[in-house]
Every structure is written in structure tokens, then in C-alpha cells.
Amino acid sequence: MKTELQRVLEAYRAMEPVKDVIHMIKTQFAVDQRWASLEFQAQVLQEVVNDPICDDFAPLRKYTYRFLKSYVDEIEAVHADVDDGLVEALVEFILNAKLVDDALNSEAMHHVSYTVPTADSSVVVTCRVASVFNEVGLKLWEAGWLLAEYVIAHKSDFHGRKALELGAGVGFTGMVLACVCRCNRIVLTDYAPNVMQNLRYNVEINSSKFVCPAEVQTLDWETWQPTDHEDERPDVLLAGDCVYDVAAFPPMMHALQSFLGNDQGSTNQHPQRVAIFAATIRNQKTFQEFLDQLAVHRIDYVDITTSSLEKMGRQLFAYPNRDQIRICRLSRTVESTAQ
């Protein structure tokens, strides 16, 4: 059930910047300085800090500490009384030495949770991510968020189709698809053992919310050959933020070649195989090399960013650099493979 603190709760679960969450509280509840009242402080503690989802799948402890400390500082700055429960929660974090350990431990993990709109209402998708950046597949990337927004806005395009996500990482995009669209099935893939272990965990803790079958598979781009069984062969490929390393382009092209084939079997019953990539342009030369490789391998590239954003509307998730992300449609026509 949604409460008046719903937006604040969603921001806290997603670990949006503390200063932004505090600003949201002070702005949304500015009348009579309600945000600083004892009653409201107790409400924040109960509904946000002690949220059942965050109890089960905790954000980074240091984040919770910063949130509590910043909120208490703001309350004291206007010379208001601080709720005893809020003080106790803050002191508990100060006395807990694990707070420091999490910030330095390269193996530490925490959770972030996002509210995803569905046909009926919404669901919360939770991802376990690395607390310290040490592996590209253990964190969320900007293009993954945008691709998830694309999926939500274009869910009818995936209805009844067999989707496969390359480089799924923590699995956010694929899990969003499994929550909002009745695909034939969705397969989330990656390769590194620690990434695969975490991906399986994330799919397991969210599986009760899926409306279509979802599974996790290890996939090596260099050797992958899709099954010949038409009932199992994917016809939609998804990839978010996979276009960043020139050294990875040869195996990526192999995977695309294997997936697209010559696509001469497209019919009304078996629609054309298509890949939807979302790529953050961090280096124009790197992205140009990606385009050049597509041309060499006779893979058709269409930039669908503008039309997609128009249909997607407002940004659903808080992430940076949205204007630097391109959405493209990759396919192969019969003509493009003719000798």
C-alpha cells in the first residue's frame, strides 16, 4: 500500500544520493516545517529506515548511516527536537564497526531495490550489487536502466517471443522484462563465475514476481551457437552497456553472427530475429569502431533512440547520462547476406 512517503521510500531503496532524498523530504513536507516534527520523524523511521524490503535486502550500511546523520543534522539546524528512535538508530550505526568494514571490503555486497510499473500496479525488483567496484558485472550501469525503461514502454513487442540478454550482469533489465511482459521465456546470460553466482541469486529472490519463465545460463560470446530447435532459439537479443571495450568486439560480433544467421526463416509465426542494444557513448572512437565492425559483418544498424524516448516518456529510474545513451536495433536482411 502506497503512503505519502512512497517517493521518499523508493529513493531510499534505490540508494539515490542522500542529499537528494533529504531535499525531497524537506520540500515535500515543508508546510509548517512538518519534516522536522517528532511525529514525522517517527514516521520516516518506521516507513523508510525500517521498511520490510530493506530489512530483508539491506542497502549499504554506510548509506543508511549517512541518511540518518544528514536527517538529524537538518533537524538540529532548525533547533527542533530529535525523535528518540531516530537517535537510537543513528547511535547503533556509529557503534557498529562493520560500517567501516563494508566501505573497504572488496567482497562486500548490498542491495538496491526499484519500483517497476506493471499492467496492474507495480512490483519491486531487488538487485544485490558490489559495495566496492571490482567487477563490471556486479553493478548497475546507466544503459541497463534505460534498456529496462525501453522494455517497459515496448512490452507488447516482446509478447510471446523468446528473449536472451547478453552480459546481463546483476540481471536488472532481464528481470524487469520478466515482470512486465509475457514472453515465451527470457534467458539471462553472463560468463564470469562470481557474476553468474550473483545473477542466479538475484533471479531467485525476484522470481515470485515474474509473469514469464526466466532462467540463467553461462554464455561465452566466442563459442556460442544458438540451438537449432526453433522452439528454444531466441528471437530477441538484449544488451545494455556492452559496447565499451574494443577488445570485446570480435567475440561480440561472433555472438551477433550466430544469433542473426541469415534470417531467411522469418515468417509471421517466426518473426525476424532482432537485437536491441543500449550503449552509453563514453568514447566516440570506441562507438565508431563498434559501428565499423557491424558494417564489416553486414549487420544492419538503426538508431531508434529518438522514437524510443518519445514513447518511453519521463525517466523512471534515477541514473546519470541519459542523454549520452543510444538505443539501436540490429538485424540482418536477406539482401545484406547475399553473395
Final residue belonging to a domain, choices 104, 126, 143? 104
- Say whether both 182 and 84 belong to one domain: no
Pair 243, 279: CB distance under 8 Å: yes
- Say whether both 277 and 245 belong to one domain: yes
Give exposure, 313-329, as e/b (b: 16+ Cβ within 10 Å).
Answer: eeebbebeeeeebbbbe
- Say whether both 86 and 129 belong to one domain: no
- Say whether both 333 and 198 belong to one domain: yes
68 lies in some domain: yes
Amino acid identity of residue 95, one-letter, is L
- Say whether both 120 and 42 belong to one domain: no
Q: Is 90 exceeded by the pLDDT of residue 183?
A: yes
Structural domains in the chain (count): 2
Q: Determine the pLDDT at residue 136.
A: 85
DSSP state for residue 80 in the 8-state scheme:
P
- Say whether both 170 and 75 belong to one domain: no
Final residue belonging to a domain, choices 74, 104, 134? 104
69 lies in some domain: yes
216 lies in some domain: yes
222 lies in some domain: yes
- Say whether both 154 and 33 belong to one domain: no
1 lies in some domain: no
- Say whether both 130 and 185 belong to one domain: yes
Q: Is 90 exceeded by the pLDDT of residue 4?
A: yes
Helices (H), 107-213: 142-153, 172-180, 193-206
- Say whether both 261 and 327 belong to one domain: yes
- Say whether both 206 and 274 belong to one domain: yes
CATH number of the domain residue 234 falls in: 3.40.50.150
The structure's pTM equals 0.91
56 lies in some domain: yes
Domain containing 264 equals 109-337
DSSP state for residue 291 in the 8-state scheme:
H
- Say whether both 148 and 248 belong to one domain: yes
pLDDT, tens digit (0-9, with 9 covering 90-100), for 86-133 = 999 999 888 875 555 555 565 689 999 999 998 888 999 999 999 877
Final residue belonging to a domain, choices 66, 88, 104? 104
- Say whether both 128 and 82 belong to one domain: no
Handedness of CA 242, 247, 248, 252 (dihedral sign): positive
Other CB atoms within 10 A of residue 177 CB? 27
Pair 206, 198: CB distance under 8 Å: no
Q: Determine the pLDDT at residue 135.
A: 77
Q: Determine the pLDDT at residue 94.
A: 82
281 lies in some domain: yes
Q: Is 70 exceeded by the pLDDT of residue 318?
A: yes
